Structure 1
Amino acid sequence: MPKLLQISIEVNSGSVGKIAEQIGETVLEEGWLSYITYARNINPSKSEVIKIGNKFDLYEHGLETRIFDNHCFSSRSATKNLIKTIDQIDPDIIHLHHLHGYFINVEILFIYLKKRATPVVWTFHDCWSFTGHCAYFDFVGCEKWKTECHHCEQKNEYPKSLFFDRSRKNYRDKKRIFNSLNNLTIVPVSYWLAEKVKDSFLMDYTCQVIQNGIDLNTFYIKNSRNTVNKMYPIKNKFVILGVASTWEKRKGLDEFVKLSELINNEVYTIILVGLSSIQISKLPKTIIGIERTENLGQLVDLYSAADVFVNPTFEDTYPTTNLESMACGTPVITYRTGGSIESVNDNTGIVIDKGDVSELVKAIEKIKNNGKGFYQNNCREHSVKNFDKKIKFMDYYKLYEEILKNNSNEKQ
């Protein structure tokens, strides 16, 4: 019976943790055994879960990163203990997700993976794997990652370093370490990200795009306007919704503040989900702020009740929030950035240039004039055709099967 082991920082929580869980569910249905690691954030899982390290390891890793800018070169004991567990499980495929996040030592892990020679699939959810520091570079317009990182403009951004800039050494170390495997397949989650990989020091590896999928039984069109109206004072206003796991400048929080100053707040209302309590306290009174929630029912109610979903992100790979909104019948407006535009067409939303808030207002007015009824069925049909997790995550299973078959033929 084949065994899949996924190395993830979380299980069934957050976008990456949910993707890992759904991949695990897919292979379980095909008769495989499934194991998923986590360092923090776990919800009930159908796979067997494996804890990496403890809170002390996370804090120590975070402290080293803050001081030395050596992210993913800490967590030595936690990584060595994980390796012992991997040996005990003896998986047929090892699938990597985010390795950043203060929980693993990439050098120790890759030395082991090279020695073990088990096929490795690595899903790229962002750009961290081929930069000297950052997970995204679009916002600052940096292209040093194409040749060699140095003097990082985003040293104070995640993974934040307060003192040293180790971006050149990180870049060289990653290039050496990540190019050490002979059996690695890279899976970018968008075609935009795949193009970046081709321009990076990982260009020689096999690269296969598999876009994210979602559970269409969880995210669906729901008559929830009255439910939401009881919780928040939306009345008969046109509801503009924004959702993010964490809100920061690159995600467009400031864009919503600008938007609130340009729209008629007697006609429109803005609801933002995923904010911290501090962020909520600083919002204009015209914006309804909601903290991050794992309550999918609440999210579905909000997606379905909204008239439009706005994603003014300045850098992103393939945001699942766009997919979730369309699955609930709500059109999407997104900035023309990264892979965010790949899920939207003329019948399901509008794409506008980054930072053009005046065009954002016009796009919202266009959605309002067309009416949600114009988009609702188109959004749902588009989701069923393109975002069904059963189809998307079956692509991973097919990839695993192909890899194992090719390995078997090489051994004969």
Structure 2
Amino acid sequence: MIDLKVVHLNTYDGNGGAGRACLRLSDALKASGIDSKVLVYYKFGQNPKIDTFSKTPIQKAMAVYNILSERYYAKWLSKSVKTPFSLQWFGKSIKNHPEVKNADIIHLHWINHGFLTPKFLAELDELEKPIVWTFHDSNAFTGGCHVRYGCENFHQQCGNCPILKINGDNDISHKTWLRKQKAYGELNFHIIAPSNWMAKSVKFSSLLGTRKTSVIPNTIETNVFKPYVKSEAKKILKINPDKFVLMSGFMPSKNDKHKGTPYLIEALEILSRRTGIQKSNIELVIFGNKENAEMPEFPFKTTFLGTINKDDHLAKCYSAADAFITPSLEDNLPNTVMESLACATPVIAFTTGGIPDMVKHMQNGYLAKYENAEDLANGIEWLYHRPNKEAIQKAARLSILSDFSEEVVAAEHIHLYETLINLQPK
């Protein structure tokens, strides 16, 4: 293995799935002997392992201005739909930053919200270094949206965007597409898709369909997210050990399209009416959001854990559950699914996005038909009546250790880095 200095670039420090995935990868690489560092545009926390481009008061103020401007302009120009959209009008040049200039590999992650515009991305080609870009969502190959749902405009040149208030052939999405086309024509980079679904999406895109793409998943700290004895974990949450516990993550408004909350509500209603289901024996646990006026009503006793900031406690919460349910309608490689499986808790989800890369139907979880609440309820009932739950729990844990552990994922990245280094002109 050759000596490598890798710098990872992300907008935020762990604020969201991409930030967590970025830091987890960097830690895994360091554990494998790589000089790996994370640099973010704006740093919220105090993690000493993460550096930032915005250190001085003036730099921080400028970053806040860019971030807020990007977000509010996008909100003003978009319809009132829960689909994130980025304009990439505001940004920062980083080509002269010492850590970027001295790196052997520049690894891009999530770079929206006022960080890197197409113009500032193209500048990185001047450094003549291998550039790798992990696509944590679809924004890199669309005219602005991060979640596509059924829209296929990215197959062409975007335009007529269903998200924008003012749309047409030459709307903002098409103009953004053209800016990206120009920038990508000046920038050589290798794409990493965390899931097969994302890789397939890239191939269909008009912007990047011919680019080289490797499928390498995100990783997880398997020594932190690990199984605990379920009965003991339930006691920690003050739940009767004999209860069948269903867990789900962040519950936004029931009108939120991306997270699929209405399907979860409907599935639980269906389940509660079925014969053979003892309602008093089932409890729902939700983390990531406190109980509030927008929280929907569920047909089972529900415990709201709020935001959990400590991963070891989060692992115990996963371990307390007999099943983790995610009704997401489009997701790349969701951290919550990986975390749950690592804690030996089977996952019940729709067959969508990168979830089938992790959940194997009726082996370590259940893949329901897309947007089918009835089948989501079938998955819960299947596990509820399953006599050999321990075998499914064991399969859940083993699936993460074999394909998503730090050692496995770090080795795949290192192999790619070395290949790209060797392809550089001597």
Q: TM-score, normalised by structure 2?
A: 0.84
Match of 1:364 among 380, 396, 401: 380
Q: Which amino acid aligns with 2:405?
A: D
Match of 1:59 among 30, 45, 68: 68
Match of 1:212 among 218, 242, 252: 218
5+ long unaligned stretches in structure 2:
79-84, 273-278
Distance 1:88 1:347, change over 3 A: closer
In structure 2, C-alpha distance between the alignment counterparts of 1:226 and 1:74, rounded to whole Å? 51
Please give the root-mean-square deviation of Cα atoms over the aligned residues, in Å. Answer: 2.8
Q: Which residue of the partner structure matches residue 407 of structure 2?
A: 390
In structure 1, C-alpha distance between the alignment counterparts of 2:20 and 2:158, rounded to whole Å? 32
Q: Does 1:349 align with 2:349?
A: no
Match of 1:94 among 90, 106, 109: 106
Give the deviation of 1:86 after TM superposition.
4.5
Distance 1:358 1:381, change over 3 A: same
Q: Could you say what secondary structure the match of 2:280 adopts?
A: coil
Give the deviation of 1:25 after TM superposition.
2.5
Q: Does 1:188 align with 2:193?
A: yes
Match of 1:46 among 45, 49, 61: 49
Distance 1:62 1:206, change over 3 A: same
Give the deviation of 1:56 after TM superposition.
2.8
Give the deviation of 1:5 after TM superposition.
1.6
Q: Could you say what secondary structure the match of 2:269 adopts?
A: helix
**Equivalent residues, number:** 397
Give the deviation of 1:383 after TM superposition.
1.8
Q: 1:98 touches 1:124 (CA, 8 Å); kept in 2?
A: yes
Match of 2:9 among 7, 10, 30: 7
In structure 2, C-alpha distance between the alignment counterparts of 1:127 and 1:254, rounded to whole Å? 24
Q: Which amino acid aligns with 1:114?
A: D
Distance 1:306 1:191, change over 3 A: same
Q: 1:11 touches 1:43 (CA, 8 Å); kept in 2?
A: no
Q: Which residue of the partner structure matches residue 127 of structure 1?
A: 138
Match of 1:154 among 160, 163, 176: 163
Q: Deviations over 1:21-69 (max 9, x none)?
A: 2332244342525242242443525354443743233222223323457
Q: Which residue of the partner structure matches residue 416 of structure 2?
A: 399
Q: Does 1:115 align with 2:129?
A: no
In structure 2, C-alpha distance between the alignment counterparts of 1:288 and 1:263, rounded to whole Å? 18
Distance 1:381 1:2, change over 3 A: closer
Q: 1:187 touches 1:208 (CA, 8 Å); kept in 2?
A: yes
Q: Which residue of the partner structure matches residue 143 of structure 1?
A: 152
Distance 1:35 1:213, change over 3 A: closer
Larger relative helix fraction: 1
5+ long unaligned stretches in structure 1:
none
Q: Deviations over 1:126-180 (max 9, x none)?
A: 1111111211212xx1111101212222337xxx99xx95112112222222232
Q: Which amino acid aligns with 1:318?
A: L
In structure 2, C-alpha distance between the alignment counterparts of 1:181 and 1:268, rounded to whole Å? 54
Q: 1:122 touches 1:186 (CA, 8 Å); kept in 2?
A: yes
Distance 1:220 1:403, change over 3 A: same
Q: 2:216 touches 2:412 (CA, 8 Å); kept in 1?
A: yes
Match of 1:254 among 259, 262, 269: 262
Q: Which residue of the partner structure matches residue 242 of structure 1?
A: 248
In structure 2, C-alpha distance between the alignment counterparts of 1:171 and 1:279, rounded to whole Å? 39
Q: 1:10 touches 1:37 (CA, 8 Å); kept in 2?
A: yes
Q: 2:244 touches 2:321 (CA, 8 Å); kept in 1?
A: yes
Report sequence identity in percent: 23
Distance 1:279 1:232, change over 3 A: farther
Give the deviation of 1:336 after TM superposition.
0.9
1:375-386 alignment to 2 at 5 Å?
375-386=392-403
Q: TM-score, normalised by structure 1?
A: 0.87
Q: Which amino acid aligns with 1:402?
A: T
Q: Does 1:268 align with 2:282?
A: yes
Q: Which amino acid aligns with 1:288?
A: T
Q: Which amino acid aligns with 2:214?
A: Q
Give the deviation of 1:233 after TM superposition.
4.9
